[in-house]
Structure 1
Amino acid sequence: MVMNTFIKKLKYTPLLAMLLVSGCTKNFEEINTDPDALKDVPPQNMLVNVLRNAGEQFGGDVDGYGTFAGYIVKIQYPDNLSGLIPTDNTYGNRWAACYYNITQMNDLLKKTDDKAAGFKNIRIVARIWNNYMWSYLLDGWGDIPYSEAFKGRPEDGSVLKAKYDKQEDVFPAVLADLKALADELAAGIGTDELGEYDIIYGSKETGAAALKAQMLNWQKFCNSLRLRMATRISAVAPALAKSTIEEIAGNKLKYPVIETNAENCRMVYPGTLPYMEPWYESGIYGNRLNNWGMFDIFIDHLNTTKDPRIVSIARKNNAGKYVGFINGSENNPNPFTSISWIGEHYVNDPAGATPFYRACETYYMLAEAALSGYNVGITAKDAYEKAVTLSMQDNKIETSAITTYLAGAGKFNGTKERVYWDMWVALFKENYEAWSLYRRTGIPTTNYPSKLQKKHTDQPWRLPYPNNEYLYNADNVKAAATGTVDYNWGKRLWWAKDNGKE
């Protein structure tokens, strides 16, 4: 009111214009700065934002990767794989999320570079997570912008169209950085507390003991990620894989790994909007559970092997049986309840979790390594049985049922195939990782693409590069995509097995 009266008294004279101009420009920044606002984003806030983003982006996939892995099929809408084209949605979102998260963590590292000792722990976690994002990009797309990525600013090199590096060059680089991080962690941690900003391993507890336990879990994830990546390339870079795996397994004191379900790398959600576990939010809260059925090959396998995890993974149909459904059926099941849906253990908890790495994976990989002749300090049989037990316990299966399974169809038979088949079951809900297992090993051999997709006989081999790359980095992305067919087939990833399908 005071300002309005003042303006009226001046009667819109030239003096008014002069006053307004001077009033809007003098001390503009000071006047328009919120004195209560932070001038910069604290590193802890940047970390929690990236971890949350990863959980939401990578934890909500039900079909898509779940279908590629042989777990889940669409039952409401025909699955003709129409989304597997260059787009900035769906799979393009995952590409963008990875590079966004790396950008944010690089910014965190830059902001704390001049006081690195005081932010040692958060910087280590940021670097570990960056490497996890790189592994995700490598497993989805293969050749990716790496060495020239994030060099767009003049001070960074003004590289606006980054070249694509070969995956066989990026894998060793990521493994080397993880090795450096593992050695840093083995030498000791910092004093800075991440607390509850770390929504994966953080807790309400404070103090030296809590910090030590928290960073030990990150140390274990770092080495477990090394184990996973080395196993991934074991068929194509055997020397690097063997030396990495034997180094980790041969010195668990220096290079500890995730070995118990309590140490699993996973994101647990608060359980209330807007932070519900993604499968619950879509399936139960969003009332879309009847959009998805269990893949027939998955239920057939669980039934044939009498795998007790079936009670956790799937629901019985309206006749009290476990029944899978065809991938890409032209007709819906009638009624929808005549087939099995996702089990309550995995979908019916708003405060559930998105898994990034489970303890059982460590032992499946050690079993495989032992069968390859690596010196890993445990027999293949013992590692396999430990893996199965951890997976069963994670699914709340009784000890007696575990014993029965390991003496029956789940009995170790000295083959990698037995390890792979059981690992496939254990990776349920880690759909992206299970899809990588299939592409690397050919297990499950029964896997097939949507029946509505007539041209190819296999699930997608890779993800399509996003449309923005074709718009703004056309020459480089087209060179990287040379040899691909229909964007997702034709050229397998470096480490993938040729299973004879097209």
Structure 2
Amino acid sequence: MKRNYKKIIALAFLFTGLFSCKDLTEVNNNPNGIQPDLVNPNLVLPTVLTEAAKLYVNLGYQDIAGVVQHTQKDAWSSGHNDYDWGGNQSWSGYYDILRNNQLVYDRAVAEKLEFHQGVSLVMKSFMFGLITDLWGDAPYNTGLKGELGKPEDILPAFDSQEVIYTGILADLEKANTLLSKSKAEYSSIVDNVDVYFSGDPAKWRKMANSLALRYYMRISAKKPDVAKAGIEKIVGNAAQYPIMTVNSEDATMGFPGTSDGTAWPANTVFDVSGSNYRRIKMAGTFVETLQALKDPRLGIWANKVEVPLVVDASLPAGTDKIEGGKRYLSPDKVGNTVVDTDPEYVGIPTSFSALPSAFNLNPTPGQTSFNPHVSFLNDIYKAATGPLLRARLISAAEVNFILAEAALKGWNAGDAKARYEAGVRASLNTWTVGSKADAYLTTPGVAYEGTLKQVIEQKWIASWTAATEAWFDFRRTGFPALKAGPAAKRQALPVRFYYMQDELNINKANTNAALEKLEVTNFSQADGKNSAWSKPWVIQGTGKPW
């Protein structure tokens, strides 16, 4: 079992003074590390929380942001822009987190620490939710028992998505009960161990029930009666099932920024070349949507174009000059090249070319390009740490959008308009522009229309830097109506990750059994069943997203 011993040992020194001493013959049983049957769960929990949050933000800020067209890359772009993933996505890191989390749970049970049990069940649900959402069927019931040495545990069978989602919802129900007491009624809570909520069981309880809403909605097309009953149970019993309603309850993690491993990804503090920041640009799809809606978040997320293009038919032929901070071009210098002359914000079109750095007549195309004619991300994303640089696991905005969708379905989940507007307000508050909410909510296209399309579009916008949820929503609803670009690997957005080659080689029989349950589509093509375009159970038979 992998336990990230270096981190555990460092934390052991940090918390030496916080726990009662034991006889030296007990603590010296293992001179090379901390024994799993003795370790305090507070020593392992920070690793679970920080690694899970880092993994999630890296998904939502990197390639999945490309899938849902929040961003595009102008170099090393084929995976991000074109879905050319090569079948190498590994879930090893996910299971590493789950094994450490299982240690937290086992030790919490042994020590009768109900808070830690509840937290570990929430994190188990979050991580297994990601695994099944991303890959499909996966080892679940026997996926964490490899050290028992039994053949069926070393090479575990894959459980169906239906079984996994059912297990997740059951664990979240159990967590809701475990986390229902006041903080004073629990023992061994160490506030700074909990990097999400500083040891607040009420907030963890709200996270548990908010995640339950997420997964009930996830299965709503396949098991509508279960989803309806589950969501109505939570909404109809607020005292028994509290949920996130305001931004201060969001499950987020900040970045200390003291090293590369504790810093916001793709910062320019530890990547002194700045190449990782420089390569990520706003996607044209996203920029144009935000501009059409006059969305005040655009300026928080992106910089204005450094040098706008001006194509002027009155200029003499052959004109290409920079003057007054603008680049002026005569039409003959542009020819048939597609350019974007917006004077403020310009995004890169989705998967439009194998050389995206050449867009908008960039004078320095290539891997080291610095395109002055396309919007860079806001300078805040150069930093290693900052108030807006947070991993966002689930938020009040998402919860309100889920309930708006449920209300649109006719379920007892509150007023759809009020839930929708609360979701918009929560997101604007998160990004420091809450004062503009009243005006924004009257803007054409934002003003409530009572459509699923509008709710999911606003949820897509609000998922900036947490794009995985937008991908799963697109897969489930077909909204926003995102289209693949001409250079994409397939002319449709993918719907899952490939099972990795190691799993196919080492756990062949069980992986092949899982592959047989995937639905091959017209876009699976040469990949066969193990394709990013083969549909897993959760969307089979739904006609979505394509």
Task: Bin the TM-score by the shorter chain.
Answer: 0.7 to 0.9
Aligned position for 1:121: 115
Query: Displacement of 1:111 after TM fit?
Result: 3.1
CA contact (8 A) 1:60 1:279 kept: no
1:66-93 CA-to-partner distances (Å, cap 9, x unmatched) read: 1111111110234265752333xxx31x
2:316 equivalent to 1:315:
no
1:411-453 CA-to-partner distances (Å, cap 9, x unmatched) read: 00111111011111001110111111111111120332x5323
1:266-298 CA-to-partner distances (Å, cap 9, x unmatched) read: 111112214112243689755122211111111
Query: Displacement of 1:491 after TM fit?
Result: 2.5
> 1: distance between equivalents of 2:257 and 2:99?
29
SS of 1:374's partner is coil
Aligned position for 1:208: none
CA contact (8 A) 2:214 2:402 kept: yes
Aligned position for 1:201: 197
Aligned position for 1:85: 86
For normalisation by structure 1, the TM-score amounts to 0.83
CA contact (8 A) 1:312 1:344 kept: no
Q: Taking structure 1 as reference, are residues 282 and 239 closer, same or farther at Cα in structure 2, changes over 3 Å only?
A: farther
Aligned position for 1:101: 97
> 2: distance between equivalents of 1:141 and 1:82?
15
For normalisation by structure 2, the TM-score amounts to 0.77
Aligned position for 2:161: 167
The aligned length equals 451
Equivalent residues in 2 for 1:327-406, closer than 5 Å: 327-328=350-351, 329-331=353-355, 332=357, 333=359, 334-335=362-363, 336-345=371-380, 348=383, 350-351=385-386, 352-376=389-413, 378-399=414-435, 401-406=436-441
> 1: distance between equivalents of 2:145 and 2:161?
19
1:134-186 CA-to-partner distances (Å, cap 9, x unmatched) read: 11011101111112222334477753221111102221121112112212323
Query: Displacement of 1:365 after TM fit?
Result: 0.8
Aligned position for 1:264: 250
Q: Could you tell me which runs of 5 or more consecutive residues in structure 1 were left unpaired when the two chains were aligned.
A: 1-28, 203-210
2:474 equivalent to 1:435:
no
Q: Could you tell me which runs of 5 or more consecutive residues in structure 2 were left unpaired when the two chains were aligned.
A: 1-24, 309-342, 364-370
> 2: distance between equivalents of 1:228 and 1:419?
15
Q: Taking structure 1 as reference, are residues 281 and 229 closer, same or farther at Cα in structure 2, changes over 3 Å only?
A: farther
Query: Percent identity over the alignment?
Result: 26
> 2: distance between equivalents of 1:186 and 1:112?
16
> 1: distance between equivalents of 2:493 and 2:45?
35
2:182 equivalent to 1:182:
no
For structure 1, which segment, 415-424 or 152-161, has the greater mean C-alpha deviation from structure 2 after superposition? 152-161
SS of 1:267's partner is strand
CA contact (8 A) 1:186 1:255 kept: no
CA contact (8 A) 1:121 1:215 kept: yes
2:528 equivalent to 1:493:
no
CA contact (8 A) 1:315 1:322 kept: yes
> 2: distance between equivalents of 1:173 and 1:308?
40
1:106-153 CA-to-partner distances (Å, cap 9, x unmatched) read: 12222343322xx22112111110111011011101111112222334
Amino acid paired to 1:330: A
> 2: distance between equivalents of 1:78 and 1:394?
29
Amino acid paired to 2:111: K
Q: Taking structure 1 as reference, are residues 111 and 156 closer, same or farther at Cα in structure 2, changes over 3 Å only?
A: farther
More helix by share: 1
1:46 pairs with one of 37, 44, 58: 44
Equivalent residues in 2 for 1:409-488, closer than 5 Å: 409=444, 410-448=446-484, 450-454=485-489, 456-482=490-516, 483-484=519-520, 485=524, 486=527, 487-488=530-531
Q: Taking structure 1 as reference, are residues 283 and 301 closer, same or farther at Cα in structure 2, changes over 3 Å only?
A: farther
CA contact (8 A) 1:360 1:388 kept: yes
1:136 pairs with one of 108, 130, 136: 130
Amino acid paired to 2:57: G
Amino acid paired to 2:354: E
Q: Taking structure 1 as reference, are residues 495 and 286 closer, same or farther at Cα in structure 2, changes over 3 Å only?
A: farther
Amino acid paired to 1:479: A
Please, what is the CA RMSD of the aligned residues?
2.6
Query: Displacement of 1:187 after TM fit?
Result: 5.6
Amino acid paired to 1:290: R
Query: Displacement of 1:326 after TM fit?
Result: 2.0
> 2: distance between equivalents of 1:219 and 1:325?
41
Amino acid paired to 1:453: A
Equivalent residues in 2 for 1:181-260, closer than 5 Å: 181-186=175-180, 190-202=186-198, 214-260=200-246
Query: Displacement of 1:100 after TM fit?
Result: 1.2
For structure 1, which segment, 162-171 or 341-350, has the greater mean C-alpha deviation from structure 2 after superposition? 341-350
